């Protein structure tokens, strides 16, 4: 791996600790002492702030809005949102903004118990959406057809949110004035990495360091990785990375 890349790995026991973390966050605050909910939720933020030098930190979160997802969101400045090319992603995008910012109007009873309400009451900064990343677009349909499906299912929701609340998205050199410009700026496309991705994960080898060859995977000693798979995968990754870190 690159010498400037560091991984802080997860642990299966973290899930067992989740109820205890929830209990700690829900403790009754005492005057003059740190607010338990805010102290717990900013634990990753304090970790990042304690780092010396210029760092880019990525949190890989649970797709559900669990306590660890809340902690990661509270520690982040911007969001990368994985999207599938189907209609369910439109619903998921709508739910994402409701979880982060609440609904209008707020729910008459449950509204005050949401993450959005608790974070807002404490003046916590909610990270902005930086990029929606289409996942495995080219697996079955090909880029053009899948991109069209994505546009129909999800882009209207993102574009509508951008028009209503542009401050919820990271800034670009100039504001998007139409949906085409918006997609160009705020949507990235990945492909299914197929065999190359499976072999890279199995061997713990970056795709950039793999070559066309036969690789052993479990009981199969001769799994072939083609150069065309590697080139296509790396091209897709480079395209997305260029939108994350210009």
The mean pLDDT of 116-136, rounded to a whole number, is: 91
The mean pLDDT of 99-116, rounded to a whole number, is: 88
Provide the pLDDT confidence category of residue 76 given band limits of 50, 70 and 90: very high
Instruction: Give bridge partners of residue 223 from the DSSP assignment.
Output: 215
Alpha carbon of 127 to those of 61, 97, 100, 132, 169: distances in Å? 14, 11, 9, 14, 8
Alpha carbon of 108 to those of 111, 116, 223: distances in Å? 6, 14, 57
Above pLDDT 70, what percent of the chain?
A: 91
Interatomic CA distance for residues 93 and 85, integer angstroms: 12
Provide the pLDDT confidence category of residue 192 given band limits of 50, 70 and 90: confident
Tell me what pLDDT residue 161 has.
94
Q: Name the more confident of 239 and 144.
A: 239
Q: Name the more confident of 145 and 97.
A: 97
The mean pLDDT of 37-53, rounded to a whole number, is: 95
pLDDT over 50 at 140, yes or no: no
Instruction: Give bridge partners of residue 189 from the DSSP assignment.
Output: 134
Provide the pLDDT confidence category of residue 136 given band limits of 50, 70 and 90: low
The mean pLDDT of 119-126, rounded to a whole number, is: 95
pLDDT over 70 at 10, yes or no: yes
Q: Could you tell me the residue ranges of all domains in the chain?
A: 1-58, 77-187, 193-246
pLDDT over 60 at 219, yes or no: yes
**Other beta carbons within 10 Å of 42:** 19
Low-confidence winner among 60-64, 140-144, 190-194 (lowest mean pLDDT): 140-144
Low-confidence winner among 31-45, 67-81, 126-140, 144-158 (lowest mean pLDDT): 144-158
Cβ burial, residue 4 (10 Å; 0-12/13-18/19+): exposed
Q: What is the 3-state secondary structure (H, E, C) of the chain?
A: CCCCCCCCCCCCHHHHHHHHHHHHHCCCCCCCCCCHHHHHHCHHHHHHHCCCCCCCCCCCCCCCCCHHHHHHHHHCCEEEEEECCCCHHHHHHHHHHHHHHCCCCCCCCCHHHCHHHHHHHCCCCCCEEEEEEECCCCCCCCHHHHHHHHHHHHHHHHHHHHHHCHHHECCCCCCCCCHHHHHHHHEEECCCCHHHHHHHHHHCCCHHHCCCEEEEECCEEEEEECHHHHHHHHHHHHHHHHHHCC
Instruction: Give bridge partners of residue 80 from the DSSP assignment.
Output: 131
pLDDT single digits (tens) 152-184 = 667 788 999 999 999 999 999 999 999 889 988
Tell me what pLDDT residue 137 has.
56
């Amino acid at each position: 791996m690159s010498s400037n890349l560091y991984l802080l790995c997860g642990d299966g026991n973290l899930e067992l600790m989740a109820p205890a973390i929830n209990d700690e966050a829900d403790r009754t605050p005492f005057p003059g002492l740190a607010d338990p909910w805010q102290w717990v939720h900013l634990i990753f933020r304090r970790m990042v702030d304690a780092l010396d030098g210029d760092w880019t930190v990525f949190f890989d979160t649970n797709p559900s809005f669990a306590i660890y997802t809340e902690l990661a969101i509270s520690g982040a400045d911007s969001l990368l949102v994985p999207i599938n090319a189907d209609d369910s992603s439109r619903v998921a995008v709508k739910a994402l903004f409701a979880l982060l910012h609440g609904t209008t109007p707020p729910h008459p009873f449950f509204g005050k118990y949401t993450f959005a309400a608790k974070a807002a009451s404490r003046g916590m900064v909610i990270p902005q959406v930086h990029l929606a990343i289409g996942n495995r677009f080219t697996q079955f349909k090909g880029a053009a057809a899948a991109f069209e499906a994505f546009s129909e299912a999800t882009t209207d929701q993102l574009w509508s949110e951008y028009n209503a609340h542009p401050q919820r998205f990271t800034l670009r050199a100039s504001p998007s004035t139409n949906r085409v410009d918006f997609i160009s700026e705020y949507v990235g496309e990945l492909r299914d990495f197929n065999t190359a991705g499976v072999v890279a994960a199995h061997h713990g080898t970056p795709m950039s360091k793999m070559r066309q060859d036969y690789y052993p995977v479990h009981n199969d000693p001769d799994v072939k990785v083609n150069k065309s798979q590697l080139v296509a995968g790396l091209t897709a990754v480079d395209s997305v990375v260029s939108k994350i870190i210009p």
